[in-house]
Chains A and B, each alone.
Chain A
Amino acid sequence: QVQLQQWGAGLLKPSETLSLTCAVYVDSLSGYYWTWIRQSPGRGLEWIGEIYHSGSTNYSPSLKSRVSISVDTSMNQFSLKLNSVTAADTATYYCARGAPLAAAGVYYYYAMDVWGQGTTVTVSS
């Protein structure tokens, strides 16, 4: 059974860089979109971005200037970096697997079917 285990610093000062890593157990990275999502009382659930096993990325426009997602296929891990954090970036961050669950012509229906346990990140001076 696939598991995602995530870790990273939970307390940051404004202007620092948020850095989180998610390890994928009992599965290959191939064929999936590896995703970061965050949740805060003010913003609810917010999709941050994703990376395909090949390394191609897709980011939310609202965060694109500050975010970077990378993948290390040799370690079966993927990572999130968010630069220049402010208090507005305080949230619980989740990694998740975006899986193609059904075909729709030449496209697929994707959903996040496996999630990490979440990491609470607080930005405070």
Chain B
Amino acid sequence: DIRMTQSPSSLSASVGDRVTITCRASQSISTYLNWYRQKPGKAPKLLIYAASSLQSGVPSGFSGSGSGTEFTLTISSLQPEDFATYYCQQSYTSPYTFGQGTKVEIK
């Protein structure tokens, strides 16, 4: 299985801050990388697919980059609804594994 490792595991930030989360794959996955946001008690929501494509309806403050084994999710200006847990997921090969999550908390 491809192992997905996110860093940091958690971070504290303020509304308006720029935040970057990193995801590393244990082998090259080209750009088959998705990002999700999950709020407590809710299902994950797709933010970014194919490493850098913004899902329909997702605010433009979210962006993704990377290829191969290293990827980043950037939130340009944190909004109150962005305090949540973020997951990366590889869609390169089955089983389609997820990172362990990065929890973004209010400073």
Contacts and interface: CB of A to CB of B under 8 A. Distances in A.
Interface in A21-73: 44-47, 58, 60-62
B7 to A, nearest CB: 15
A19 interface: no
Contacts of B31: 104, 109
Given A102-B50, A104-B50, A109-B32, A115 B43 contact: yes
Contacts of A94: 43-44
B74 interface: no
A61 B95 contact: yes
Interface of B: 1, 30-32, 34, 36, 42-46, 49-50, 53, 55, 87, 89, 91, 94-101
Contacts of A46: 98
A113 interface: yes
A112 interface: yes
A60 B43 contact: no
Interface residues of A, number: 22
B98 A47 contact: yes
A111 interface: yes
Contacts of B99: 44
A117 B43 contact: yes
A53 B35 CA distance: 25
23 contacts: A44-B98, A44-B100, A44-B101, A45-B87, A46-B98, A47-B95, A60-B95, A94-B43, A94-B44, A96-B43, A101-B50, A101-B53, A104-B32, A111-B49, A111-B50, A111-B55, A112-B36, A112-B44, A112-B89, A115-B43, A115-B44, A115-B45, A117-B43
A41 B40 CA distance: 13
Given A62-B95, A109-B50, A118-B43, 16 more contacts: A44-B101, A45-B87, A46-B98, A60-B95, A61-B1, A61-B95, A104-B31, A104-B32, A104-B50, A109-B31, A109-B53, A111-B89, A112-B46, A113-B49, A115-B44, A116-B43
Contacts of A60: 94-95
